[in-house]
């Protein structure tokens, strides 16, 4: 099952992206409209891939489908970034990750009739629960706090779940890169919609808080890594039997995020600071055991 190894590597890249994004959103680029706009604009840099793969005009019908898929993804990203802007990134990542896995499962089951084996269902549960636990903090278990601005995270997760279930249905391994490049062009075109409302246009094009050159470079590097992750995860979904299983492996990303943020908070605390206690370490270890169990069930 090569898709598992591709997925694990992809989620390691995603963990690096998440850690950098945490720094950028908190300290450099706090505006979700601006962040989403430039994420869409940078999709144009996927075009050089066309030189290395069989890139062709897919016909007007397929072009509309690919473009719609790209627009759907950018809208889901906007909801995700807006949720982060209104709340805390660690909590939003937990909720959106869990909702994405759950909604991917729902859409695959009821829209496309794909079913999971008993092993896969058990792995799905272990991975989702383990993923939520490894990122959750004590106050997250407060009902009022957990569901604060929940609708944005819920909406983002639902849109991402729909996107990934459609990716499995639309992007085939044999012509994956052609379809994938066209979906990125859809996101590129969709980014210009953010220039239509005057209020947003002023935020994007008007004078903004000065951003350090290093942060600008970090933003571009991060978007490049994010693009690499996105290629890998979409390709993995096209190979795997179920997109919901690939999404549930997001829990592996959370394990990597924990390890990376722990290391950074110890050696470079001015960038990211994580609170560590015996109880927190115990929670993380138990969560990693759950995630490991889920991985084992997928591989047997």
> What integer pLDDT is reported at residue 114 of this predicted model?
79
Instruction: List the domain range (segments joined by +) for residue 19.
Output: 2-299
Tens of pLDDT, residue by residue, the chain (300 residues): 678 889 999 999 988 887 887 776 655 455 789 889 988 998 898 888 888 888 899 999 999 999 999 999 999 999 988 887 776 666 677 778 778 888 888 888 888 887 777 877 888 888 888 777 776 666 555 555 555 567 788 889 899 999 989 988 888 887 889 999 999 999 999 999 999 988 888 888 876 655 565 667 787 888 888 889 988 998 898 888 778 888 888 878 878 887 887 787 777 766 666 666 677 778 778 888 888 888 777 765
The structure's pTM equals 0.79
Number of domains forming the structure of the chain: 1
Q: How far apart are CA 68 and CA 186, in angstroms?
A: 7
Contacts (Cβ under 8 Å, ≥6 apart) of 3: 236, 239, 240, 246
> What integer pLDDT is reported at residue 204 of this predicted model?
85
> What integer pLDDT is reported at residue 86 of this predicted model?
75
> What integer pLDDT is reported at residue 135 of this predicted model?
63
């Amino acid at each position: 099952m090569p898709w598992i190894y591709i997925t694990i590597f992809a989620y390691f890249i995603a963990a690096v992206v998440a850690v950098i994004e945490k720094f950028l959103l908190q300290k450099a680029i706090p505006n979700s409209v601006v962040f989403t706009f430039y994420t869409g604009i940078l999709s144009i840099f996927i075009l050089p891939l066309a030189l290395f793969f069989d890139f062709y005009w897919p016909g007007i019908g397929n072009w509309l489908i690919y473009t719609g898929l790209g627009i759907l993804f950018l809208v889901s990203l906007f909801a995700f970034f807006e949720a982060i802007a209104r709340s805390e990134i660690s909590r939003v990542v937990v909720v959106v990750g869990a909702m994405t896995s759950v909604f991917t499962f729902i859409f695959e089951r009821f829209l496309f009739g794909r079913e999971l084996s008993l092993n896969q269902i058990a792995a799905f549960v272990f991975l989702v629960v383990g993923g939520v636990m490894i990122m959750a903090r004590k106050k997250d278990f407060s009902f009022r706090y957990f569901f604060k601005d929940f609708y944005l995270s819920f909406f983002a997760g639902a849109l991402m779940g729909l996107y990934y279930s459609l990716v499995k249905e639309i992007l085939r391994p044999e012509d994956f890169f052609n379809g994938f490049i066209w979906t990125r062009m859809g996101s590129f075109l969709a980014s210009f919609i953010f220039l239509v409302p005057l209020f947003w246009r002023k935020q994007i094009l008007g004078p903004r808080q000065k951003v350090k050159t290093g942060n600008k470079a970090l933003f571009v590097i991060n978007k490049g890594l994010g693009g690499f992750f996105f290629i890998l995860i979409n390709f993995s979904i096209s190979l795997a039997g179920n997109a919901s299983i690939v999404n549930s492996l997001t829990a592996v990303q959370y394990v990597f995020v924990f390890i990376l943020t722990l290391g950074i908070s110890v050696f470079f605390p001015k960038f990211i600071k994580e609170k560590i206690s015996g109880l927190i370490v115990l929670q993380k270890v138990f969560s990693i055991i759950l995630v490991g169990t889920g991985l084992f069930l997928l591989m047997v």
